[in-house]
Amino acid sequence: MNKHPAMTSDYLSMLMILALALLVAAGHSECHPFVESQIPGHLGRNEEKLTHLHFYDLLVGPNKTSVKVAPANPGSPLAFGIVTVTDEILTNGPDIYSNVIGRGQGTYAFASMGELVLAATVNYVFLVGEYNGSYISVVGRDPADEKKRELAIVGGGGLFRLARGYVELTTYSIDLETGNSIIDGNFYVYQY
Ligand SMILES: *[C@@H]1O[C@H](CO)[C@@H](O)[C@H](O)[C@H]1NC(C)=O
Ligand SMILES: *[C@@H]1O[C@H](CO)[C@@H](O)[C@H](O)[C@H]1NC(C)=O
């Protein structure tokens, strides 16, 4: 074996530079960590509790807000492809004279070619009392012509931060001519 002195010292200095670079990199990542463990109590609430909310979702009256933003393609079965955006009125009773407690803001897409099924994405924001400004985020499958539908609560904001659970929606009344409808909603929410 024939050692090449120049090659060996080049190799050594290269190793040293590499080691130095690694040290500097390690130092940098210590200075600027981007991940940090925290104890759950940091969020201020420790105990997860189950809350039941019951209210109505109104798409009726002069201020009915439901805008079709995308039509179905001609010939599509069962309105497949329609997308609507809604700003529904949430009330504590099943008519427009009930107290307004919030809004249901979201989109509904007619997402089935074989059934009347909506893909729903809705934020239920509350506008009164201690829940004012807090909201529950719901995503789910809504077979609109079935009596009872179940959608997932996937999160929320404010007092509903980190929420999870499910919603049962039942049609309270519907006027197929005008599209006016009242939905009865039972929300079961695990929240902190
Ligand atoms: C409808 O909107 C108008 C104007 O914003 C408002 O004055 C009225 O109270 C609303 N009516 C209902 C039933 O929400
Ligand atoms: C809800 O909060 C908003 C914004 O902070 C405030 O303007 C409004 O008066 C509050 N409503 C009630 C009923 O407390």
* Residue 22: predicted pLDDT: 67
10: tokens are 């080049």
Give the residue with greater pLDDT, 4 vs 64: 64
pLDDT of 27 strictly over 60: no
Ligand 1 centroid–CA 158 distance in Å is 27
Instruction: Report if residue 10 sits inside a domain.
Output: no
Residue 152 is encoded by which pair of tokens?
């997932």
Give the structural domain span for 98: 40-191
The pLDDT of residue 39 is 77
As a whole number of angstroms, the distance between CA 180 and CA 192 comes to: 35
Q: How confident is the model over 29-41, as a mean pLDDT?
A: 77
Name the residue of 56, 60, 63, 180 whose CB sits within 8 Å of the most ligand 1 atoms, as the mutation to test its pocket. 63
| pLDDT tens per residue, range 119-140 | 999 999 999 999 999 999 999 9
Neighbour count for residue 142 (Cβ, 10 Å): 20
User: Does a structural domain hold residue 88?
Assistant: yes
Nearest ligand 1 atom to alpha carbon 96: 13
This prediction has a pTM of: 0.79
The angle formed by the CA atoms of residues 130, 133 and 139, to the nearest 5 degrees, is 115
Q: Is 17 within the bounds of a domain?
A: no
DSSP-based three-state secondary structure for 24: helix
| 72-120 pLDDT per residue, tens | 988 888 899 999 999 999 999 998 899 999 999 999 999 999 999 999 9
Which tokens go with 73? Answer: 């393609």
Residue 46 lies inside a defined structural domain of this protein: yes
Domain count, the chain: 1
| Residue 36 in this model has a pLDDT that exceeds 70 | yes
Q: What angle do CA 77, 105, 46 make, to 5 degrees?
A: 125
pLDDT on residue 8:
64
CA of 62 from ligand 1 middle (Å) equals 7
Q: Is there a domain that residue 139 lies in?
A: yes
b/e sequence 148-174, b meaning 16+ C-beta within 10 Å: ebebebebbeebbeebebbbebeeeeb
pLDDT of residue 167: 98
CATH number of the domain residue 163 falls in: 2.40.480.10
Q: Whose CA is nearest to atom 8 of ligand 1?
A: 63
**Terminal alpha carbon distance of the chain:** 71
